[in-house]
């Protein structure tokens, strides 16, 4: 095992002439200011949206006019509950026992929203 420790390194730096300490300081500053390059084999692939969420979004697109202005609770493409009261729809989704249901408000696809 190496005897290299931060203490040993600092002691060696203190023993360097001033000009060499400055050179080391500049080299370290330059190295630390550059983002670390990640080798292609260490990159993390982007996370894809879970299939259940994709099915829920397709369901919302297909049924937007039918449920416009309401809250819906979905398990994938299966409607669990709907209504105008968020808390009631959420309670019905929780009572269904579904793990991580999607509860969302369905906007009217024909309504034009100004101010964006």
Q: Give residue 2's pLDDT.
A: 59
Count of CA atoms in the C-beta half-sphere (13 A) of 5: 4
Which run of H or of E encompasses 22? helix 18-33
- Distance separating alpha carbons of residues 36 and 29, to the nearest angstrom: 13
- The residue written with tokens 């019905």 in the block is 92
Whether residue 48 has pLDDT greater than 80: no
The DSSP secondary-structure symbol of 114 reads P
Q: Would you state the structure tokens that stand for residue 96, as one six-digit string? A: 């269904």
Q: Give residue 33's pLDDT.
A: 80
Question: What average pLDDT does the structure give for the chain?
Answer: 86
Whether residue 106 has pLDDT greater than 90: yes
Percent of the chain at pLDDT > 90 equals 47
DSSP 3-state of 61: helix
């Amino acid at each position: 095992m190496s005897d290299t420790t931060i203490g040993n390194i600092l002691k060696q730096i203190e023993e360097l002439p001033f000009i060499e300490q400055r050179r080391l300081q500049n080299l370290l500053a330059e190295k630390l200011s550059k983002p670390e390059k990640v080798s292609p084999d260490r990159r993390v692939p982007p996370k894809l949206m879970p299939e259940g969420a994709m099915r829920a979004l397709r369901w919302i697109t297909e049924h937007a006019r039918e449920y416009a202005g309401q809250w819906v609770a979905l398990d994938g493409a299966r409607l669990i509950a709907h209504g105008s009261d968020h808390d009631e729809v959420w309670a019905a989704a929780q009572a269904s026992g579904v793990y991580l249901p999607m509860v969302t408000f369905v906007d009217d696809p024909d309504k034009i929203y100004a101010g964006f």
